[in-house]
Amino acid sequence: MKRREFLTKTGAAGVAGAAAASSLAAPAVAQKRTEMVVVSTWPRDFPGLGTGAQRLSQRISDMTDGRIKVEYFAASERVGAFDSFDEVASGNAQAYHAADYYWKGKHPGWAYFTAVPFGLSYTEINAWIRFGGGQQLWDELAGQFGLKCMMAGNTGCQMGGWFNKEITSADDLKGLKMRIPGLGGDVMAKLGASPVSLPGGQIYENLVSGAIDATEWVGPWNDSFMKFYEAAKYYYYPGFHEPGSMLAFGVNASWWGKLSKTDQLIIESAASAENDIMMAEYNAKSGSALASLIKDQGVKLRKFNDDVYDSFGDATEEVFEGVRAHSDLSKKIDDSFRKARKDLGAWSKISDQAYVAQRNRVLGV
């Protein structure tokens, strides 16, 4: 505004002033400021998810020296966590940072763009999105809702969850009220549990009050802040339901289409950087957090046995049948995902997986 007042005043000063104003006006147009409201599904300052979304917003601002002015709202600061989608699709806000599987009620295809049961690891989903046709399918799905989505973080492989009793067979899951969103929740329902989808900020109170018996959230680093161990001591691994949960930056497509190529690239680059940084932070902090949970909080670490895992596998296939029957697009996404999972799984087996197993064996890790 000050700049505009200055231009108006100099313009009113006479012919010489008007010439000065027009010479200043050209760069002012090229440097057009853009307002960008970002909403998210995470509590403010929540480690990893919230801080990652905030870091991404700040990075866009910093990369443009404030020319893209990002105003960030954590969950419930502008709209509720699960209202983020509609806020952006409607154009009330320009972008959300979220887990796209929260929108599976709108279309089951969304689940594939966070994580699905027996799905892809961090490195695998990056390969599928960037080089396996995943981004094109994500664009097709998001386009139906007026959105453009991109990768913007990852938690890595998640833990199986917190239980107040041991799970030694699929029968132990029957009647269990568990917070588990996405298709993982549908798998639990097939096994007789009652899944609920609660935003992060509401899980603890429901677990402590007994409204739910079990919950999954993320992994040791995030979960330690949630204090779930106060109500559920058994901490199971590995989670079948979220092997590499990818977070999304979902942008209003109409707004996106009006941005310059430069601004689109800046936003994409910032999101891509966060996709990398968030994963590094989760990996760096999870091991020590797990050790502390066991040593300081008396958490009992347990591994799902093969029988329980086989039950997860059978129920997962039933869930996928339902997803494929939903629409042509769901089937197309599932076909692409399955092809990627087969190719990438075979390669992971003789590369990362084989190497880490041998390294840890030799070193006794």
Residues that bind Ca ion in the complex, under the rule CB under 5 A:
158, 216, 242
Tell me the C-alpha distance between 56 and 251, whole Å.
Answer: 13
Closest to Ca ion by CB, 149 or 218 = 218
Closest to Ca ion by CB, 148 or 241 = 241
**Shortest CB 219 distance to Ca ion, Å:** 9
Closest to Ca ion by CB, 158 or 224 = 158
With a CB cutoff of 8 Å and minimum separation 6, the contacts of 249 are 56, 95, 96, 97, 149, 150, 151, 152, 267, 271, 274
Residue 313 burial (CB count, 10 A): 14
Q: Which residues pair with 151 in a beta bridge?
A: 248
Q: Check: CB of residue 173 under 8 Å from CB of residue 167.
A: yes
Closest to Ca ion by CB, 216 or 263 = 216
68-73 and 34-40: which strand pairing? parallel
Tell me the C-alpha distance between 207 and 201, whole Å.
Answer: 12
Closest to Ca ion by CB, 223 or 334 = 223
**Shortest CB 217 distance to Ca ion, Å:** 6
As given in the structure block, the two tokens for residue 325 are 């029957």
Closest to Ca ion by CB, 245 or 252 = 245
**Shortest CB 85 distance to Ca ion, Å:** 18
**Shortest CB 97 distance to Ca ion, Å:** 16
**Shortest CB 139 distance to Ca ion, Å:** 25
**Shortest CB 213 distance to Ca ion, Å:** 17
- Cβ-in-10-Å burial (0-12, 13-18, 19+) of 255 comes to middle
